[in-house]
Chain A
Amino acid sequence: MQKKKRAKKPYWSRDGLALGARMLLPIAPGMMAFGVAVGSTTAAKGFSFIDCLLMNALVYAGASQMVAMELWPQTLNLSSIAALAVIAGTVNARMLLLGASLRPWLGTLPAWQIYPLLHVLTDPSWIASMRYHREGGWDVSVLLGGSVMFFWMWMIAVSAGYFLGALIANPKAIGLDLVMPIFFAAMLIPLWRGPKNIVPWFTAGAVSLLFYYFIPGWWYVVAGAAVGSIAGGFSDDE
């Protein structure tokens, strides 16, 4: 991980783009397998290729799209379209936390540089970039490079899945379905800063599981992450 000794201000650099893209390569196979699944599901639902590309470029949130495909109504009207929007919003509500946590790093940059970038923000590019920032980096290109590379890899994977169907006969057998959680777990290790992490992490897991078991819907990540973060903010350590 390269660290440039500069003032604690966000900046852009060409090296950062490459670094950001490189940091996300370990999760590329799993992400692309997921993209293939989204593409083939969208094709099976009868969407045209252009509509499939549009959805992936404009919504660009695989988990919420998969849920929407599952629940896509027989007839589209104002209320069923509103329902689809609510589903997308709730599945993606966790991303509020992602954006919030970027504020101390990116807050001084002009809005026109940040708001377009936020459209291609994903969980993996956020996690990898936050790790980079936590280790002292301020280069925003790291976030941009990883996010943009991810966007194009996703579009390619979705297209391949749309036309070729399920490319991989059994993704589970080679562990592809677990790439995301393994990547997340690996990113968790460098975040360990001693016992003060126990309270937020344990709270996040416990609340997430409680919601997972007892509250219908997709609130568990958002609830666990929000309550865990707040617990971390209010636990006294130093």
Chain B
Amino acid sequence: MTSEPHWLVLMAILAMAAATYPMRAGGFWLMGHVPLTPRIRKILEASPGAVIVATIAPIIVREGVPAAVAILAGGTVMYLWRRDYFAMAIGMLAAAGVRALWF
């Protein structure tokens, strides 16, 4: 891409930005034009968990056992003690351990 006229590169960056910001702002904007019925509220309340599961499920199947063990370890620590840092540390340690010893 080094031979491109520079303004085309800038155009491409601006086009990507112009496509991304509406995704960040669009959901918030749209919900301002939709009545927040109890049903809509319930859907929105379910979204953090749904986003998390939809994000990590493919990662677990793609990365296999190390990811599953790491997530299980981190989740267990969180369940037992509710300590974010500790959960992260144990999760990463579990991933590193499984990868070093096994996979």
A residues with CB within 8 A of B? 23, 25-27, 45-47, 51, 54-55, 58-61, 64-65, 68, 72, 74-77, 80-82, 84-89, 92-104, 106-107, 114-115, 118-119, 121, 123, 126-127, 130-131, 134, 172-179, 181-191, 197, 200-205, 207-209, 212, 220-234
With most chain A CB atoms within 10 A of its CB, the pick from B14, B30, B46 is: B46
B residues with CB within 8 A of A? 1-2, 4, 8-32, 36, 39-61, 63, 66-67, 70-71, 74-75, 77-79, 82, 84-85, 87-88, 91-96, 99-100
CA distance A132 to B77 in the complex (A): 19
Chain B residues lying within 8 Å of A201, measured Cβ to Cβ, are: 49-50, 53
Known: A54-B10, A88-B16. A104 touches B41 (CB 8 A): yes
CA distance A114 to B90 in the complex (A): 36
Whether B71 pairs with A181 at a CB distance below 8 angstroms is yes
Residue of B nearest to A97 (CB): B47
Whether A99 pairs with B25 at a CB distance below 8 angstroms is yes
CA distance A227 to B20 in the complex (A): 22
Chain A residues lying within 8 Å of B21, measured Cβ to Cβ, are: 118-119
Chain A residues lying within 8 Å of B96, measured Cβ to Cβ, are: 173-175
Known: A95-B27, A184-B52. A212 touches B58 (CB 8 A): yes
If over half of A's interface residues share one DSSP class (helix, strand or loop), that class is named, otherwise mixed; here it is helix
Whether B54 pairs with A228 at a CB distance below 8 angstroms is yes
Known: A64-B20, A99-B24, A229-B43. A76 touches B12 (CB 8 A): yes
Whether A182 pairs with B92 at a CB distance below 8 angstroms is yes
Chain A residues lying within 8 Å of B77, measured Cβ to Cβ, are: 186
Chain A residues lying within 8 Å of B79, measured Cβ to Cβ, are: 189
CA distance A79 to B55 in the complex (A): 30
- Min CB distance, B11 to chain A, in Å? 6
Whether A225 pairs with B88 at a CB distance below 8 angstroms is no
Whether A197 pairs with B49 at a CB distance below 8 angstroms is yes
